[in-house]
Structure 1
Amino acid sequence: MLRAVHSNRVESLLGALLDALPPADPFAPSTVVVGSQLIARWLVREIALARGIAAGLELVTFDAFVEATWAGDAAGRAARLGALDRAQVTAALASVLADDDVVRALPPVAAYLAAAPAPGDRAGPRRVQLAEQLAELVWSYALSRPDWMPALVIGQVPGELAGDGTARWQAALIGAALSRLGAAGEPGPGPGLRAPTPMLPWLRRRAGLATPVRDPVAVFGLSFLARAQLEALSDLSATTDVAVYVLDPCEELWDDVAGRRAAADAPALIDPLPLVLWGRPVRDTLSALVERTG
């Protein structure tokens, strides 16, 4: 079951989390997915102040949670599912960009690397910079456009970008890099299947494995969730109780992300622009969570 709790005060969210957490049990720790290590440290302090001790807790970041849940259980280990982090993707892309056979087949990339002004290995810095930019793009796509990633993994352009010349050389480089990391393999005997961490739920389905089952999970300290994160939590909620505690900039649930107007004939917004801009991703996240709670 998936449950969403929202508030414009972090103290209220903390109180709701404390009410939901079971008594501390060092042999069966409660899992709380946090937005960052800073939030984890704050949460430990607040729980210790409220309960007298902060024990029986497993505080993990979202990426670590995804890797442990979808690849770290018995079924995932048996299928040899593995997560790729950003550093690995960056290194693989840099390796591909150093491969003359690959670069020669991509004129825009070859021209960019050849235009480097420095003497010696002129393309070296540009290879590294381009690899870092492409790795960031891979991670962004894996989080926000997971529907594009199955095509990109095998070096193909997603259907929506079929006429985009830039997408063609990006897809070729991404596919070549992920192939070197084992992301284009097939389920069955072999070295196993690997994918960028946000893609692990997709990779698990591709391997024909059932949705993992685990003890209840709380998600705390993320003001909004990317599409892949929402899909992962929705997938898990079929077998596990999942509660998401969302910090909302507004006391009330927004129905209109553009902001409320003072009157029909008054063009000025009541809400300040920063509040409106922050409210949009939160509103979208809450709407998606409410829709998934059914």
Structure 2
Amino acid sequence: MQNGLMVLHGNRLETLTELVADWLQREPLSPLETETFLVQSNGMAQWLKLQLADALGISAGFQFQMPARFLWGAYRTVLGEDQVPRTSPFDKSRLLWRLYRLLPTLLNSEHFGPLRHFLADDVDGRKRHQLAERLADLFDAYQMYRADWLDDWENGNDRLRKDQDRDTFDEFPTSQLWQAHLWRALLADMDSSKRGLSRSAIHRDFIAALTLQKEQGTSPAGLPRRLIIFGISALPQQALEALAALSQHCQILMLVQNPCQHYWADIVEDKQLLRRQLDNRKRHVTTMPENRVNPLLAAWGKQGRDFIGLLYDHDDPDSYRSVFHNQIDLFEAIEPQSVLQQLQQDILDLEPLPKPDQRPPLRAGSASPADG
């Protein structure tokens, strides 16, 4: 089985499902081997099970997991269960109560003026619990999306790195500096043996271990031989880095529902994305006039746009294009029969919304909810 990361884009889940079913038949695992899928919700898992049952005649031997849970299990498999606990001391549920206990001891410090002001009239501890819960969510997100900020803060560098791979920084507002001080306070409150168990720290060790084993020609035991990632609309850079490292030792097939057949991650007014330098590996790159922007696509959501952009940093289609007979982009145009289908086609082609008097005529009797 060919290892590596293979990313296929399509605008219809049904088409992506057909490809998965065909791939499972063409490249089957051993009879008693479990096929592992990563999906973004239990609803998607149930839908995909039914679709595969219809296509294959049976839906058995499939394991469906959420990305975060799978990756934490992969960390334990690669680094050892004695090195990675079943539950991280930096999980939200544990951070919440640590913060709840720690906050009153910090409020007299000059660094925590905004928090002191918020908790000034907290008589029964409800506001403290609410604040601890919000802060636990915040630091959990930072571990996944901005681990570089936490690394800087841990080392006493109170700054906001713009790009994880560049030494350029945004201004750190004085009113928000308490975040860096609070992160250091959290680390100081932990035993030294637990400080290296944040998701970001374990992630670094995980990447290093997989890279070393690849250089040594070995592979960690216990990982699935194949991983199918289906219909996930967004993943943080840390998760994509982990999957790219895993793909050195197993086959990863990623099916991405992408509404547009052109590269669209930089069509919004975002300086970081506009600085992204496109290269020949970005297979959807098309030269477009500056005003050829679909406003619905531009408003799709920054997280989803970033995900599409990050995929190209890890994708090398030339390494697997021949395996799929050069059919790695599964975009399907339709003949619009309704206003909704016309909008979908405009997004697919990266066309701006036409003026009302410039819309192409639709077939009679093709009214849709969008027609009012």
**If the TM-score is normalised by the length of the shorter chain, which range does it land in?**
0.7 to 0.9
- Is 2:249 the counterpart of 1:239? yes
Instruction: Name which of 12, 17, 21 aligns with 1:14.
Output: 17
Give the equivalent residue in structure 2 for 1:77. Answer: 81
Bigger Cα displacement from structure 2, 152-161 vs 124-133: 152-161
In structure 2, give the amino acid aligned to 1:86.
Answer: K
Distance 2:243 2:81 in 1: 20
Mark the CA change 1:129 to 1:20 in structure 2 (over 3 Å): closer, same or farther. Answer: same
Give the equivalent residue in structure 2 for 1:33. Answer: 38
Give the equivalent residue in structure 2 for 1:126. Answer: 127
Give the equivalent residue in structure 2 for 1:222. Answer: 232
Task: Report if aligned partners of 1:90, 1:132 keep a CA contact under 8 Å in 2.
Answer: yes
Task: Report if aligned partners of 2:211, 2:245 keep a CA contact under 8 Å in 1.
Answer: no
Distance 1:192 1:205 in 2: 18
In structure 2, give the amino acid aligned to 1:75.
Answer: L
- Is 2:297 the counterpart of 1:275? yes
Give the equivalent residue in structure 1 for 2:96. Answer: 90
Task: Report if aligned partners of 2:78, 2:210 keep a CA contact under 8 Å in 1.
Answer: no
Give the equivalent residue in structure 1 for 2:6. Answer: 3
Mark the CA change 1:223 to 1:130 in structure 2 (over 3 Å): closer, same or farther. Answer: same
How many pairs were matched up?
A: 273
Instruction: Name which of 170, 178, 191 aligns with 2:179.
Output: 170
Give the strand-richer structure, 1 or 2. 1
- Is 2:307 the counterpart of 1:285? yes
C-alpha displacement of 1:246:
0.9
TM-score, normalization by structure 1: 0.77
C-alpha displacement of 1:49:
2.0
Task: Report if aligned partners of 1:103, 1:109 keep a CA contact under 8 Å in 2.
Answer: no
SS in 2 for 1:290: helix
SS in 2 for 1:239: coil
- Is 2:107 the counterpart of 1:103? yes
Task: Report if aligned partners of 1:152, 1:175 keep a CA contact under 8 Å in 2.
Answer: yes
Mark the CA change 1:114 to 1:40 in structure 2 (over 3 Å): closer, same or farther. Answer: closer
Bigger Cα displacement from structure 2, 105-114 vs 223-232: 105-114
Q: Which has the larger radius of gyration?
A: 2
Mark the CA change 1:2 to 1:129 in structure 2 (over 3 Å): closer, same or farther. Answer: same
Give the equivalent residue in structure 1 for 2:55. Answer: 50
C-alpha displacement of 1:179:
5.0
Bigger Cα displacement from structure 2, 1-10 vs 132-141: 132-141
Bigger Cα displacement from structure 2, 107-116 vs 221-230: 107-116
Mark the CA change 1:146 to 1:243 in structure 2 (over 3 Å): closer, same or farther. Answer: farther
Task: Report if aligned partners of 2:37, 2:64 keep a CA contact under 8 Å in 1.
Answer: yes
Distance 2:189 2:145 in 1: 24
Mark the CA change 1:218 to 1:61 in structure 2 (over 3 Å): closer, same or farther. Answer: same
- Is 2:142 the counterpart of 1:146? no
Structure 1 runs not aligned, ≥5 long? none
Note the alpha carbon deviations across 1:98-151, whole angstroms, 9 max, x for none: 4x2x222244145324522x6x43xx1221121122122212222222222223
Task: Report if aligned partners of 1:219, 1:243 keep a CA contact under 8 Å in 2.
Answer: yes
Question: Percent identity among equivalent residues?
Answer: 25
C-alpha displacement of 1:180:
4.4
Task: Report if aligned partners of 1:8, 1:247 keep a CA contact under 8 Å in 2.
Answer: yes
Note the alpha carbon deviations across 1:142-178, whole angstroms, 9 max, x for none: 2222222223457763464675334431122233335
C-alpha displacement of 1:237:
2.0
Distance 1:103 1:93 in 2: 12
Note the alpha carbon deviations across 1:62-115, whole angstroms, 9 max, x for none: 1111111112x16321324553432222222222114x2x22224414532452
Bigger Cα displacement from structure 2, 23-32 vs 10-19: 23-32
Mark the CA change 1:207 to 1:291 in structure 2 (over 3 Å): closer, same or farther. Answer: closer
RMSD of aligned alpha carbons: 3.4
Give the equivalent residue in structure 2 for 1:68. Answer: 73
In structure 1, give the amino acid aligned to 2:149.
Answer: W
After TM superposition, list the pairs within 5 Å mapping 1:182-201 onto structure 2: 185=192, 193-196=196-199, 200-201=202-203
